[in-house]
Each structure stands twice: as structure tokens, then as C-alpha cells.
Amino acid sequence: MLDHRIDTFLALCDCMSYRRTAELCHLSQPAVTQQIQYLERLYGRRLFTYENHRLAKTEEGRLLEKYARAARANDHALREKLENKAINTLRVGATKTIGDYFLEDYICRFLESEDNALTLIVDNTEHLLRSLVANELDFAVVEGFFDKNSFDSILLRREPFVGICRKDHPFAGREITMDQLLRETIIHREAGSGTRAILEQELSGYNESLQRFQRHICISSFRLILDLVRRGFGISFVYNILADSDPELAKFTLRGELVVREFNIVYLKYADMRDKVRSLFGGEAG
């Protein structure tokens, strides 16, 4: 069982306010201060400091936070093994491309055993990473960027990132220039999604941005994005696995190198999640 002072420490890491931490933990503010001071004496290092009248974590505080979050995740896994008998329960997150178009076969194989149970949350990369930090997920499968100082990862797959348009569009099956692209209506995901971040990164390599398109449409649903592209309302960029899911769509590429990105299994740094990962993905996961 984790020391209750670690829970207070992590609450303070989340909200960076002694007053708010006291409210969340149902403690007095002096009690929060005493618990943090206890940990600082225990580890012999300052965990927080004030910079320009704002609370900030020290390097040692950030390191303790990583280990503490991993310890909380490992403690949860241990409790499951001790309390849940033979049932192997996974709490998995997936970005929308992966959750809707890639994981089905793995999930079906996993659930063939009556000893396995699963909770799957499909959301954008930003929200999934927050859920990992909050110990609401064991691991997440994402195609977006993540902080490798805070998370460990296992490469699952590399996937081309391609443009899509309706079959009779002038771009169909072609390699096009950035100038040609910017004259189109772009249909893209919301901020925080992996595909949005990758698209913005590719545009920045040309010193361009989404705002430079003639018109842009933001949609959080891939199914609706595909439908709008199919109906000729604009073009979009998606992973090849999604582009191939609809025979009515055509693909195009930007002039230059083919863009390929990783699907990664991501979990908290220092957390021991490899057994859980292998139970879903078998030998394909590292």
C-alpha cells in the first residue's frame, strides 16, 4: 500500500496549489505542507520551490513524480492480481484511427478467453495521455506525439500517412505540390488528436499552417470526415489503413518523401506493464 503522503504529493503535482490540494485531499493546508516537508526530509531534497511567486517542481520533484505515478500503477496491478482471482482485466486506451480501424482482431482474440476482461477508451492522444497519468488506463495505443521523458513505449507498427480525396478529384492517384494543396478545403481533426499534430508538423516543414488553406473544416469523427471527403466537400490526411477502408476514396501524396508514422503502445515511465501488453498483442509487442 502506498504511503498516503505520496497521494498528497501527486495531488499537489496535479494542481500546483497547496490550497487546492488541501481541498481535494480533505486536509488542512498546514497538513499538506507537513506531508510535503516529510517527503523532502525522507529523500533529502527539495521537491517544490517558488519561481516568480509561482509554485514549481524541482528536478528531484519531477523525478519523484514519475516514480510515484508508476508505483501507483504497479500497486493497482498488484491489487488486481490479489483480488481479482483468475480474471485478467485490461484498461486500454486507443486513438480513433487505431481503436476504430486496427484493434478489432487483437480484441477478439483476447476476449476468446473467458478469463480476460477489457475496458477500451477511444479518444484523442492528449486525453489518453492524461488518463495514463491519472492511472485510469494501463496503457494506450497512440499514433500521436508523446513525451518520452514521462512515458515508455513499444513500437507496434509503422503506417503511411496519406492524402485522401474523392475518386474523380484532380488529386486522385497523384503527387501534388504544396501550392496546389493550399487551394483546397482541408478537413481535419480537433486539436489534441494525433493526426492533427502530424498534419501540422508536416505543414510546418513547408513553413505553412492550417490557416493558409482556402477553407478548413474541423471534425472529430473519422466516419464523418470520410463521408465529407467522399461527397466532395474537401480533402483530408489520414493513415493508410483508414484510407484503404473505403473503396470510394482515392489517395494522393505531397511531393517529396512518403510520410510514415508509428503506432506506439505507451505507458507510464517505470511502470511494469509488459505482461499486460503481451496479453493483448502477444509477440507482436516487442
The domain that holds 186 is classified in CATH as: 3.40.190.290
Q: Are residues 35 and 77 in the same domain?
A: no
Note whether residue 235 is domain-resident: yes
CA distances from 187 to 168, 193, 261 (A): 18, 13, 20
> For the chain, how many structural domains are there in total?
3
pLDDT digits (tens, 9 = 90+) for 4-61: 888 899 899 988 999 999 998 899 999 999 999 989 998 899 999 998 889 999 999 9
Note whether residue 203 is domain-resident: yes
Q: Are residues 250 and 178 in the same domain?
A: yes
Greatest Cα pair distance, the chain, in angstroms, is 69
Q: Are residues 153 and 31 in the same domain?
A: no
Q: Are residues 82 and 116 in the same domain?
A: yes
Higher pLDDT, 283 or 100: 100
| Cα 230 to Cα 145: distance, rounded to the nearest angstrom | 28
Note whether residue 65 is domain-resident: no
pTM score, whole prediction: 0.76
Range of the domain at 16: 4-60
- Show the cell assigned to 262: 508509428
Buried b (16+ CB within 10 A) or exposed e, 140-167: bbbbbbbeeebbbbbebbebebbbbbbe
